[in-house]
Structures are given as C-alpha cells and as structure tokens.
Amino acid sequence: MMNNKKVTREVHKIDAEDKAIGRLATQIVMILRGKNKPEFQPNIDGGGIVEIANIKQAKFTGNKPAQKIYYRHSGYPGGLKRDKMKDVFAKNPAEVLEKAVWNMLPKNKLRSEMIKRLKIT
C-alpha cells in the first residue's frame, strides 16, 4: 500500500508534435493521478511529473479551433467573456492543453497539487 510519505515520482517526457490535444490530455491525466502504477489509490496523490515538449505543433481534429469557445466570468453583471480556441492557442498554446487536463482531473482537493506537476514548454 502507498501513503503520502512513500510516493516516488518519475518524470515522464512526452512530445506533443502531431498529437491530438484530447488524447494527449488523457495520457497526462493517467500519469498525474498515478493510475499507471499497480499500487494506485484514488485518495492518494501518487502520480508522476509530466513534461510536455513541442506543444505548438499539436494538432486539432475537426473544426475545433474556429468553433470551440472558452467562457469566463468577471463576477459583475454582463461580465461574461468568450474566447475562441484559435485565439487562446495563438496567445499561449500551453493554456489549451492545461485547460483540457484541468477539466479531466477529479474535482477534489488533490487537483491543484496534481496540476502543479504538469510542465509545458
């Protein structure tokens, strides 16, 4: 059995060139959660460290860059902001992958610690 003191974190390097963002995000989540280890426990943060390279050469399937919209709200009336994926990817390509991974991680206290181990270059 694994506990928080006995966790060993391996570094996994992944090349994102010519890979779909969603399929890449599922691989990353499996490693960050630790589901690739035989001693996986859902209540223990036992995953590894993931380093992503060549995110600018990642590919999209379908017409997602023009159609997918990211929403955010300022908290004020009328403060809903919309950004298309192509605009977000042009500014910061790593943000698109990070948002995909963030939404795939479990919605609990461990999520913020897991996302810190994702390094995108």
Task: Report the 10 Å Cβ neighbour count for 15.
Answer: 14
Q: Read off the pTM.
A: 0.91
Closest CA to 47 of 94, 106, 121: 106
Q: Cα(95)–Cα(60) distance, rounded to whole angstroms?
A: 14
Model pLDDT, residue 7 = 85
Q: CA dist 47 to 2, 10, 56, 107, Å?
A: 11, 8, 25, 16
Whole-number mean pLDDT of the chain? Answer: 95
Q: CA dist 57 to 53, 61, 75, 92, 120, Å?
A: 9, 13, 35, 13, 13
How does pLDDT run across 69-102, given as a tens digit for each residue?
Answer: 999 999 999 999 999 999 999 999 999 999 999 9
Model pLDDT, residue 6 = 81
Model pLDDT, residue 54 = 97
Model pLDDT, residue 58 = 96
Q: Residue type for 56, please?
A: K
Q: Which CATH class is domain 4-60+93-120?
A: alpha beta
Q: What percent of the chain has a predicted confidence (pLDDT) above 90?
A: 92
How does pLDDT run across 45-73, given as a tens digit for each residue?
Answer: 999 999 999 999 999 999 999 999 999 99
- Domain layout of the chain by residue ranges: 4-60+93-120
